[in-house]
Amino acid sequence: MPDNNDNVYDLVVVGGGPAGMMAAITAAQHGVSVLMIDKNSMLGKKLLLTGGGRCNLTHAGTPEELIEHIPYSGKCLFKAFHRFHSPELIAFFEQLGVSLVEDANGKYFPVSQQAREIQVVMTRALKIYGVEVVRSKVLNLDKTPGYYTIHSADGNFRAKHVLISTGGSTYPGTGSSGDGYKFAGLFGHTIYPVEPGLVPLESPFLASGELAGISLQRVGLQCFTHSGKLKFSHKGEMLFTHDGVSGPLILDASLYLLEYDFPVELVFTLPKDYATTFPKRFLQFFATTLAEQEKIGSDISIRFRCTQKKGWDHAMITLGGVSMQEIDPQTFESKLAPGLFFAGEVLDCHGKTGGYNLQIAFSTGYMVGETVAKRKTPL
Ligand SMILES: Cc1cc2nc3c(=O)[nH]c(=O)nc-3n(C[C@H](O)[C@H](O)[C@H](O)COP(=O)(O)OP(=O)(O)OC[C@H]3O[C@@H](n4cnc5c(N)ncnc54)[C@H](O)[C@@H]3O)c2cc1C
């Protein structure tokens, strides 16, 4: 493929999701020449699905409190969150004309409750700050002294700095199909095996679908692997689906359950007032178990097995990815290839439900944008 032009951009961003857009806007705001390449006709397509279409952008709390909800490499975000976490994100969107509102659980959404608003204002900001956008699939990357060459289906581009923000492998219809792992591998990066995360679980025990749609609050959950190891213990809200279980408690549990842990045993402890507050359909389905336990007078619990997680089309995030050990946590630059950066879900850095994953994308993207801007002109 021929070079598209002789220009050497300060920054080429490969992947225009929230991480890439944040990096591009931040860098361009400081006069950096930025080209963004995305294979979708719409940037930030996955944003439209977030928070059930409402976009849970972030969560209230100090950097340390946020990190507690990021079981994979959360500590590597210490510097990024101290520089840019929820207050800075709220200010960023205010500046773009979007106010955010906190719900009773500490989750932040746009006041409009419309994910599309976030996608629209970020795309508009790219234009306002002069980011060039090319719709094409990036196929390969290589480095020659002085610059990187980004090979796309529609020609080659050169850059002093390259950001890989191609996301993970979930909901491939939104564009994230795991290409970033291949690019990272070209430069010697370790890629931890990927598998679906924040994903519902399937249970043959529930395959009749009789409980589908029932949501239970204040239940305790313990998850045991097939070898009897306790992997997760927490309290919260869960939902029965047509073939298993979902809801925030289950999605969070799925972060801790790796494919080799299955089949897993789930033990739910019910609140004392379950008999008067839980739906009749649930009480009837488990009537025998509940009656037996009432007789003994023990804590009331139900248990069943789940045989697997649902697949990539149902997972909110991808577990695994580019090892954080090879990334500078101050800049998100590769320690193996100077000038190459990573941000967002392509990294092996993942959080629970509640806005933590978008905050990771925004914070890591911000750090990259600011780093490249500082290199061009000390801020
Ligand atoms: C249903 C659903 C609901 C969610 N809800 C929430 C929520 O409410 N709160 C929250 O915090 N998180 C949520 N998440 C997770 C969150 O959306 C992701 O963690 C986040 O989008 C990751 O951002 P990213 O920029 O790293 O990657 P992505 O958003 O996946 O963007 C990657 C981009 O890279 C492009 N790309 C990939 N490969 C190439 C290539 N070879 N060439 C060119 N372009 C390429 C893609 O087209 C895409 O635009 C949700 C996820 C899903 C699936």
The enclosing domain of 214 has a CATH number of: 2.40.30
Per-residue tens of pLDDT for the chain, all 379 residues = 556 667 899 999 999 999 999 999 999 999 999 999 999 999 999 999 999 999 999 999 999 999 999 999 999 999 999 999 999 999 999 999 999 999 999 999 999 999 999 999 999 999 999 999 999 999 999 999 889 999 999 999 999 999 999 999 999 989 999 999 999 999 999 999 999 999 999 999 999 999 999 999 999 999 999 999 999 999 999 999 999 999 999 999 999 999 999 999 999 999 999 999 999 999 999 999 999 999 887 889 999 999 999 999 999 999 999 999 999 999 999 999 999 999 999 999 999 999 999 999 999 999 999 999 999 876 6
If asked whether residues 92 and 167 sit together in one domain, one would say: yes
Q: Assess whether 54 and 148 both reside in one domain.
A: yes
Domain end residue (candidates: 290, 309, 328) = 309
Closest CA to 116 of 40, 42, 53, 24: 53
Assess whether 231 and 345 both reside in one domain.
Answer: no
Residues 243 and 284 in one domain: yes
Distance between Cα 15 and ligand 1 center (Å):
9
Half-sphere exposure at residue 139, Cβ-oriented, CA atoms within 13 angstroms: 8
Q: Same structural domain for residues 112 and 239?
A: no
33 is written with which tokens?
A: 């020449």
Instruction: Check if the beta carbon of residue 208 is closer than 8 Å to that of residue 163.
Output: no
Say how many Å lie between the CA of residue 46 and the centre of ligand 1: 5
**Domain end position, chosen among 269, 289, 309:** 309
The reply to whether 147 and 57 lie within a common domain is yes
Cβ atoms of residues 167 and 346 within 8 Å: yes
Residues 137 and 231 in one domain: no
**Residue ranges making up the domain that contains 266:** 201-309
- Same domain? 141 vs 253: no
| Alpha helix stretches (DSSP H) within 206-325 | 248-254, 274-277, 280-285, 287-296
Number of independent structural domains in the chain: 2
Pairing, β 132-135 against β 34-38: parallel
Give the end of a domain, one of 250, 284, 309: 309
Q: Are residues 143 and 188 in the same domain?
A: yes
Alpha helices per DSSP H over 255-355: 274-277, 280-285, 287-296
85 shares a domain with 27: yes
DSSP E strand stretches across 54-111: 58-59, 100-102, 107-110
* Pair (304, 357) in one structural domain: no
Nearest Cα to Cα of residue 26 among 338, 370, 364: 370
Work out which ligand 1 atom sits closest to the CA atom of 40: 47
Residues with CB under 6 A from ligand 1: 14-20, 37-40, 45-46, 49-51, 55-56, 137-138, 165-167, 170-171, 175-177, 179, 316-317, 344-345, 355-358, 361
User: Is there a single domain that holds both residue 60 and residue 145?
Assistant: yes
Strand partners, 221: 234, 268
CATH of the domain at 122: 3.50.50.60
- Alpha carbon of 139 to ligand 1 centroid (Å): 19
